[in-house]
Structure 1
Amino acid sequence: MPAGPAVAVAVTFVWLGMVLAISFLEAPLKFRAPDVTVRIGLGIGRLVFRALNTVEVVLALALVVVAALGAPPATAVVAGAVAIVALLAQLGVVRPRLTRRSDAVLAGGEAPRSRGHLGYVALEIVKVAALVVTGVALFTT
């Protein structure tokens, strides 16, 4: 496998692994730890997801650059684009709403339960599926 496609495969599966580890392991488990209050969990979650999303943007840009320099299969391009669009929707639409709610809770106020988390999780599932398809399509060419 030439360097370009190998880098694309690596970037895709690193991104996938990070999303699975943070979104589907760390995030739900932190609230089960002893003495972790909602306020502490939200504070930790904001830091962790800000870092994750920053790395995701870098990985998405790397994927775009590698794709622009090579000739990836159409399946990989479409699936990769779906993952990137899901990330952009999370950052531009869902995260601002979640931030407003967590700001209120962290400031000591009350905030109603948010359905934004369900939207974020749905987009994470879409992103995971898209990254799996992207990685497999890149790996098998």
Structure 2
Amino acid sequence: MKPVTAAQPGDEQGAAIEAASMRHAPGLALFWSGILGGASWAAAQAGVRPDLLLLVVSDTTIWFSVVSSISLMEAWVKFRAPLLERHVGVDLGRRVFRGQYAMEAACALTACGLLWSAGSGSVRSGLDALPGGAGWLLAGAAAILLLELGLVFPALDLRGKVLIASSAEPAELNPRQQAYVQELQESTAGGSVPPPYVHLVSVLLAVAQVALLGGCLWRLLLSVAGA
């Protein structure tokens, strides 16, 4: 593919289009942290019993739903659409996953805060307070999230940038899109591309995370039901 020509004066040439298009993640993290944290605080103040179990169940249910619906369904279904060009799907996926990780971070932080409060200032004590080892399943899911945020998603994100920069056709783009692709070409030029197996690692981690969150939910619900 030939390099994209620079946009004409008056277009958004030189603007940080990529950075601007990714600003939704912090907003989502703050929004969901406020919703989950506020609901948890209100429930605790109202004397919901048992406080820790029901609140962690609610938080973990949202977390489980986000991972299973996006990582294990939306991403796979999306690329089966015949009219969706691969670079368009990848560009969309980068934003969806960034939003997903923002919501996951909000869930993880809320759970951490609940456990810290229940453990009188010790998250470990809070984990031990959850029945049936559910707390350590939740901790395992949080550890996977940290691994995804620190290593896996940055590698996938870089692969996505390279794919978009190399496969988008300039003739089919408007000036703003041309400037965006040019920005990606410049940011990835000369750099190494993460190996393809990073996609498999991502899927395996998502499956493991869903299993851990599902196991945590099952044990918590059994405890709430008195089983």
TM-score normalised by the chain length of structure 2: 0.58
Amino acid at match of 1:130: L
Candidates 153, 159, 162, aligned match of 1:101: 159
Gaps of 5+ in 1: none
Amino acid at match of 1:17: S
Candidates 78, 83, 87, aligned match of 2:145: 87
SS at match of 2:166: coil
Counterpart contact for 2:158–2:194, Cα < 8 Å: no
Counterpart contact for 2:60–2:213, Cα < 8 Å: yes
Equivalent in the alignment of 2:213: 131
Name the CA distance, whole Å, in 2 between partners of 1:130 and 1:53: 17
Counterpart contact for 1:5–1:66, Cα < 8 Å: no
Equivalent in the alignment of 1:114: 196
Candidates 11, 26, 50, aligned match of 2:98: 50
RMSD: 1.9
Runs of 4+ in 1 over 4 A off after TM superposition: none
Name the CA distance, whole Å, in 2 between partners of 1:51 and 1:26: 13
Name the CA distance, whole Å, in 2 between partners of 1:133 and 1:106: 38
Name the CA distance, whole Å, in 2 between partners of 1:131 and 1:112: 28
Q: 1:113 Cα deviation (Å)? A: 6.7
Q: 1:6-25 to 2 correspondence within 5 Å?
A: 6-25=54-73
Q: Does 1:72 align with 2:120?
A: no
Gaps of 5+ in 2: 1-48, 119-128, 168-192
Q: Does 1:32 align with 2:41?
A: no
Q: 1:3 Cα deviation (Å)? A: 3.1
| Higher relative contact order, chain-length normalized (CA < 8 Å, sep 6+) | 1
Question: Which structure is higher in helix share?
Answer: 1
**Matched residue count:** 141
Aligned pair in 2 of structure 1 residues 133, 112: CA closer, same or farther (>3 Å)?
Answer: closer
Name the CA distance, whole Å, in 2 between partners of 1:73 and 1:63: 15
Amino acid at match of 1:54: A
Equivalent in the alignment of 2:107: 59
Larger Rg, first or second structure (1 or 2) = 2
Name the CA distance, whole Å, in 2 between partners of 1:136 and 1:51: 26
CA shift digits 1:64-119 (9 cap, x unpaired): 1112222323611110111001111111111111111111111126x787111100
